[in-house]
């Protein structure tokens, strides 16, 4: 890792965001302080508070892989605003847009198992900004001027959720009409209808056997399996069926304000990280080193394989145990100066082609990280593009 997180906790304070809320006044005045009180109440004492407001936090390395199921107090949090305080009895979910019969539902309606069968799923969610600290090490960016938290490798968590399929609510509303293809989730995100049909979206009110914590979306949130964490919308209050993907900024412009391809980020690519030993540790060993780490690939795909290197990337070896929760073992037959990890997902077509070419030539895979310059576009350029093209998504490829 080329960057390191500052030793303060919170790392960044978000003073500008706090000042804006105070300056606007009214109901916004107390949101930063109310949100911080919820953080202190619901999160583990050892959480790394990367951005105090809007709150962004991750567990320390030693706790990321301490359990196969991430305890609620240790699950990472990515927010773009304050944490709302919502009373269950005042809550309703509106389902409208391109459906035959728009309706409103209370939480009790949604939880009524006689109407909607319940589902329990264990899901890993990862923020698309995971390991951003490595990028910040090369280009610091705007600090806390924008809510781009200095994530290390802890923006990943696994939890068991109880809920229902949104398909059942769509059916209860008479189904989609007039070209409805996406569901816009308020906060404004969309997921393709095909994702719902594949039973990979869950409306959930329970996390690890407990009611959703306020910081994770109480009373109702959406969990989208295999997609970046930003598509799992918290504090859900409306679902709107629309024809194309949302052009809300969080979905259409983050993290890069670019229209180069306009394929909005959905599935997470394969990635991996070593949680222990830590970077810079000197290890005295007898030929075997024990590691903890994670490897993840979006879209419901298990990583093809995980390999570790004890010589800084010149040679790579598969761990002795790969599919156990978090733990890897590696035999080391020579002095190890640097330990590295990589993982691959063979289902991606370009990856599959490159691997096949390497195998034909008998060339060992030596993964490297490359940084690529991406041209940014103005608001006018982006809106001109949307006027001339439908927003592209994975379903259209």
Assign 3-class secondary structure to 236-267: CCEEEEECCCCCCHHHHCCCCCCCCCCECCCE
Size of the chain, expressed as the number of residues it contains:
397
Give pLDDT, residue 350.
66
Best-predicted range by mean pLDDT (127-136, 147-156, 198-207, 376-385): 198-207
CA distances from residue 260 to 39, 247, 252, 377, 379 in whole angstroms, order as listed:
38, 15, 12, 9, 14
Structure token pair of residue 232: 């799992």
Radius of gyration of the chain (CA): 22
Considering the chain, tell me which residue range(s) the CATH 3.90.420.10 domain(s) occupy. 80-252
Is residue 249 within 8 A of residue 264, CB to CB? The reply is no
Is residue 208 within 8 A of residue 121, CB to CB? The reply is no
Sign of CA dihedral 377, 378, 379, 384: negative
pTM score: 0.76
pLDDT in tens, 19-74: 989 999 888 899 999 999 999 999 999 999 988 999 999 999 889 988 889 999 99
Give pLDDT, residue 334.
44
Pick from 36, 67, 31, 62: which is nearest to 49 by CA?
36
In the predicted model, is pLDDT for residue 105 greater than 50? yes
CB-based burial of residue 9 (10 Å sphere; 0-12 exposed, 13-18 middle, 19+ buried)? middle
Comparing 277 with 137, which gets the higher pLDDT?
277
Query: pLDDT confidence of 329, banded at 50, 70, 90?
Result: very low
Peptide bond just before 159 cis, omega within 30 deg: no
DSSP 314: S
Q: Assess if CATH 3.90.420.10 describes domain 80-252.
A: yes
Query: pLDDT confidence of 296, banded at 50, 70, 90?
Result: confident
The CATH number of the structural domain formed by 259-397 is 2.60.40
Query: pLDDT confidence of 326, banded at 50, 70, 90?
Result: very low
Query: pLDDT confidence of 195, banded at 50, 70, 90?
Result: low
Comparing 256 with 84, which gets the higher pLDDT?
84
Gap between the Cα atoms of 186 and 181, Å rounded: 16
Alpha helices in the chain, H assignment, sequence order: 15-24, 31-42, 61-64, 107-111, 132-136, 166-172, 193-197, 249-252, 349-361, 379-388
Considering the chain, tell me which residue range(s) the CATH 2.60.40 domain(s) occupy. 259-397
């Amino acid at each position: 890792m080329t960057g390191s997180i500052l030793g303060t906790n919170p790392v960044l304070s978000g003073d500008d965001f706090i000042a804006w809320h105070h300056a606007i006044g009214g109901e916004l005045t107390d949101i930063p302080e109310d949100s911080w009180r919820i953080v202190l109440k619901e999160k583990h004492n050892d959480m790394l508070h990367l951005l105090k407001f809007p709150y962004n936090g991750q567990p320390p390395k030693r706790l990321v892989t301490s359990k196969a199921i991430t305890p609620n107090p240790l699950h990472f949090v990515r927010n773009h605003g304050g944490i709302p305080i919502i009373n269950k009895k005042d809550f309703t979910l509106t389902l409208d847009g391109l459906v035959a019969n728009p309706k409103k539902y209370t939480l009790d309606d949604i939880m009524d198992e006689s109407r909607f069968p319940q589902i329990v799923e264990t899901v890993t969610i990862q923020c698309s900004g995971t390991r951003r600290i490595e990028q910040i090490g090369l280009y610091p960016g705007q600090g806390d001027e924008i809510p781009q938290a200095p994530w290390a490798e802890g923006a990943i968590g696994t939890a068991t959720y109880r809920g229902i399929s949104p398909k059942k609510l769509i059916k209860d509303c008479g189904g989609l009409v007039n070209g409805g293809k996406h569901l816009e989730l308020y906060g404004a995100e969309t997921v393709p209808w095909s994702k719902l049909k594949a039973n990979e979206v869950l409306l959930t009110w329970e996390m690890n056997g407990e009611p959703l914590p306020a910081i994770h979306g109480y009373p109702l949130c959406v969990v989208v399996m295999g997609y970046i964490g930003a598509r799992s919308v918290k504090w859900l209050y409306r679902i709107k069926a629309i024809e194309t993907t949302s052009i809300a900024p969080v979905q259409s412009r983050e993290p890069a304000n670019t229209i180069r391809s306009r394929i909005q980020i959905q599935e997470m690519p394969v990635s991996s990280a070593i949680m222990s030993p830590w970077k810079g540790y000197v290890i005295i060993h007898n030929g075997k080193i024990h590691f903890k780490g994670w490897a993840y690939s979006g879209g419901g795909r298990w990583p093809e394989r995980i390999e570790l290197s004890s010589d800084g990337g010149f040679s790579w070896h598969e761990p002795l145990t790969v599919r156990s929760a978090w733990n890897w073992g590696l035999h080391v037959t020579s002095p190890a100066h640097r330990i590295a990890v990589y993982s691959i997902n063979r289902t991606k077509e370009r990856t599959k082609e490159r691997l096949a070419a390497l195998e034909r030539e008998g060339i060992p895979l030596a993964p490297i990280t490359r940084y690529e310059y991406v041209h940014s576009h103005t608001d006018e350029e982006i809106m001109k593009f949307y006027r001339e093209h439908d927003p592209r998504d994975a379903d259209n490829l």
